[in-house]
């Protein structure tokens, strides 16, 4: 198995182009071609999902931090506030209290990070999104393992972005995003993706 590294600046170019280009209509009903948006590719979506995964693996350990309902910050590279509660175990954001993230490599691009995640039996379920207008990367967590340190080793995250569906699977070997018949490893230390070529 060999790996091919995704272009590091791909997301920035895509997002900056989204600001500069008027929405493009789509004249057909092709389910994999985004309507009223740029024509994203599976490679673009893998990059988007990698960054979403990076954000979520930093949020999930907060479910171990017991608290009465209160706001807290996540720390660099994230700014802003989120809510947490231990009865029940839950972390969430609101329209006014949520996280912001500007990846180091992408000057001028800031994601708004929203989520509502609950835990039961050390497994997290919930929904949320990363937003940088006009792009919304929505997700749903399904029984993702909560660990105090390190990264989840079980569970899935289903992602809906740009007219594409992607599935992130967490295992003891790491995280893999699958889009159709293609797959990418996700580096959970920075969110970058590497295509798996069989």
Residue owning tokens 């209160």: 70
Q: Which of 33-37, 60-64, 111-115 is the least confident region?
A: 33-37
Confirm if 184 and 176 have CB atoms less than 8 A apart.
Answer: yes
Domains in the chain: how many in total? 1
Flag whether 26 is in a domain. no
pLDDT, mean of residues 3-29: 39
- Let me know if residue 93 belongs to a domain: yes
Contact 114, 97 (CB under 8 A): no
Domain that holds residue 46: 2-16+39-197
Render pLDDT for 69-109 as a digit per residue (tens, 0 to 9).
899 999 899 999 999 998 889 999 999 999 999 887 677 88
Cβ atoms of 140 and 152 closer than 8 Å: no
* Separation between Cα atoms, residue 147 and residue 34, nearest integer Å: 36
């Amino acid at each position: 198995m060999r790996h091919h590294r995704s272009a590091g600046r791909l997301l920035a170019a895509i997002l900056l182009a989204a600001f500069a280009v008027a929405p493009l209509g789509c004249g057909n009903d092709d389910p994999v071609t985004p309507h009223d948006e740029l024509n994203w590719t599976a490679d673009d979506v893998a990059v988007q999902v990698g960054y979403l995964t990076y954000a979520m693996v930093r949020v999930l350990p907060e479910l171990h931090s017991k608290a009465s309902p209160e706001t807290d910050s996540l720390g660099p590279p994230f700014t802003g506030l989120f809510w947490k509660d231990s009865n029940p175990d839950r972390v969430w954001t609101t329209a006014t209290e949520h996280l912001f993230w500007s990846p180091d490599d992408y000057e001028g691009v800031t994601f708004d990070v929203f989520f509502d995640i609950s835990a039961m039996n050390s497994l997290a379920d919930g929904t949320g999104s990363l937003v940088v207008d006009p792009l919304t990367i929505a997700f749903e967590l399904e029984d993702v393992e909560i660990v105090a340190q390190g990264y989840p080793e079980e569970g899935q995250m289903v992602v809906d972005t740009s007219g594409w569906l992607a599935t992130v699977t967490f295992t003891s070997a790491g995280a893999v995003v699958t889009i159709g018949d293609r797959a990418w490893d996700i580096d959970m230390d920075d969110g970058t993706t590497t295509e798996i070529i069989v």
